[in-house]
Structure 1
Amino acid sequence: MLHLIIMMLERVGIIVILGFVLAHTRLFRQALQQPESYKGKAVLISIFSLFSIISNYTGIEIQRNMIMNNDWVFQINPSGSIANTRIMGVEIGGLLGGPYVGIGVGILAGLHRLSLGGATAVSCAVSSVLAGVLSGWIGRYFRKRYAMPTPRVAALVGLGMESLQMLLILLMAKPFSDAWTLVSIIGIPMILVNGSGTFIFLSIIQSIIRKEERARALETHRVLMIADQTLPFFRQGLNESSCKSVAAIIHRQTGTDAVSLTDNEKILAHVGAGADHHIPSKSLITGLSKRVIKTGHIMKATSKEEIECTHDPCPLHAAIVLPLTSNGKTIGTLKMYFKSPSGLSRVEEELAEGLAMLFSTQLELGEAELQSKLLKDAEIKALQAQVNPHFLFNAINTISALCRTDVEKTRKLLLQLSVYFRSNLQGARQLLIPLSKELNHLQAYLSLEQARFPGKYKISLEIENGLEDIEIPPFVLQILVENALRHAFSRKQDSCAVNVSVVSAGPSVLMRVGDNGRGIDPELLSVLGNRPLPSKEGTGTALYNLNQRLIGLFGPKAALRLESEAGKGTDVSFELPLKLMTKGEEHAEGVNR
Structure 2
Amino acid sequence: MYIDNRLPKKYQGSRLWLAVMAAGSGLYLLIALLQEKSLLDFGLPLMERLAIVLLVLYFFVRSDLAEAYRKGVATRTDLLWLVLIFGVLSIYGTLRGFQIDDVILNFRDLGPVLAGLIGGPLAGAAAGLIGGGYRYSLGGWTALPCAVATVAAGIIGGIARRYWKTFTPLRLAILGVGVEALHILVILPLLTLGHPTSEVLDVIRHTFPAMSLVMVAGLIIYLMVEDQYRKICDMKDLVTWVRQDIDPDYDPDKEE
TM-score (norm 2): 0.75
User: Kindly tell me: are residues 32 and 117 of structure 1, through their superposed partners in 2, closer, same or farther at Cα, counting changes over 3 Å?
Assistant: farther
Contact in 1 for aligned 2:68/2:74 (Cα 8 Å)? no
Distance in 2, Cα, partners of 1:219 & 1:124: 49
CA apart distance, 1:87: 0.9
Contact in 1 for aligned 2:61/2:226 (Cα 8 Å)? yes
Unaligned runs of 5+ in 2: 1-37
User: Which one of 175, 183, 198 corresponds to residue 157 of structure 1?
Assistant: 175
Which has the larger strand fraction? 1
- Show the counterpart of 2:41: 3
Percent of aligned pairs with the same amino acid:
27
Give the AA of the match of 1:97.
G
Alignment of 1:4-403 (within 5 A): 4-34=42-72, 36-63=74-101, 80-142=102-164, 145-146=165-166, 149-167=167-185, 168-173=187-192, 174-220=195-241, 222-223=243-244, 226-227=247-248, 250=249, 350=253
2:141 is paired with a residue of what secondary structure?
coil
CA apart distance, 1:35: 6.2
1:135-177: per-residue Cα shift (whole Å, max 9, x none)? 10111222xx34xx23332222111101111021122122332
Unaligned runs of 5+ in 1: 64-79, 228-249, 255-347, 354-593
User: Kindly tell me: are residues 43 and 209 of structure 1, through their superposed partners in 2, closer, same or farther at Cα, counting changes over 3 Å?
Assistant: farther
CA apart distance, 1:123: 0.3
Distance in 2, Cα, partners of 1:39 & 1:95: 18
Contact in 1 for aligned 2:69/2:118 (Cα 8 Å)? no
Alignment of 1:369-518 (within 5 A): none
Which has the larger helix fraction? 2
User: Kindly tell me: are residues 141 and 226 of structure 1, through their superposed partners in 2, closer, same or farther at Cα, counting changes over 3 Å?
Assistant: farther
- Show the counterpart of 2:20: none
Give the AA of the match of 2:96.
T
Distance in 2, Cα, partners of 1:35 & 1:187: 37
- Show the counterpart of 1:526: none
- Show the counterpart of 1:434: none
Distance in 2, Cα, partners of 1:213 & 1:170: 47
Contact in 2 for aligned 1:151/1:202 (Cα 8 Å)? yes
Give the RMSD, CA atoms, in angstroms: 2.3
Contact in 2 for aligned 1:170/1:183 (Cα 8 Å)? no
- How many positions carry a matched residue from both structures? 215
CA apart distance, 1:218: 3.2
1:357-396: per-residue Cα shift (whole Å, max 9, x none)? xxxxxxxxxxxxxxxxxxxxxxxxxxxxxxxxxxxxxxxx
Give the AA of the match of 2:176.
G
Give the AA of the match of 1:60.
F
Distance in 1, Cα, partners of 2:242 & 2:124: 36
Distance in 1, Cα, partners of 2:208 & 2:105: 9
Distance in 2, Cα, partners of 1:35 & 1:6: 38
Distance in 2, Cα, partners of 1:62 & 1:183: 12
Contact in 2 for aligned 1:49/1:109 (Cα 8 Å)? yes
1:495-539: per-residue Cα shift (whole Å, max 9, x none)? xxxxxxxxxxxxxxxxxxxxxxxxxxxxxxxxxxxxxxxxxxxxx
Contact in 2 for aligned 1:31/1:44 (Cα 8 Å)? no
Contact in 1 for aligned 2:153/2:179 (Cα 8 Å)? yes
CA apart distance, 1:61: 0.8
1:285-338: per-residue Cα shift (whole Å, max 9, x none)? xxxxxxxxxxxxxxxxxxxxxxxxxxxxxxxxxxxxxxxxxxxxxxxxxxxxxx
